């Protein structure tokens, strides 16, 4: 997640991954917000795994 940001050394190899937008309506209730929070966590984990796989290969 963003709180584990690693700043690469100059000239090192890196990848940039991003996922689809996760819209949350302004009038979302607590249940919808919690569902979005969980989904966002899952998406961040998936994108992190994809980035790590790209760095290894």
Query: Which two tokens mark 13?
Result: 């190899």
Residues 6+ apart with CB under 8 A from 25: 32
User: What 3-state class would DSSP assign to 28?
Assistant: coil
Query: Which two tokens mark 5?
Result: 């940001």
Is pLDDT at 2 greater than 70 in this prediction? no
Angle at 8 between CA 2 and CA 55, to 5 degrees: 85
18 alpha carbon, distance to own chain's centre: 7
- Stated pTM of the model: 0.75
Residues 22-51, mean pLDDT to the nearest whole number: 96
Residues 25-47, mean pLDDT to the nearest whole number: 97
pLDDT at 57: 75
Other CB atoms closer than 10 Å to residue 45's CB: what's the count? 11
Residues 20-36, mean pLDDT to the nearest whole number: 97
pLDDT at 1: 55
Residues 4-13, mean pLDDT to the nearest whole number: 85
């Amino acid at each position: 997640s963003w709180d584990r940001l690693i700043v690469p050394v100059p000239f090192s190899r890196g990848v940039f991954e991003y996922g689809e937008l996760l819209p949350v309506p302004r009038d979302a209730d607590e249940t919808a917000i919690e569902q979005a929070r969980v989904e966002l966590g899952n998406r961040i984990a998936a994108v992190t795994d994809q980035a790590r796989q790209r760095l290894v290969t």
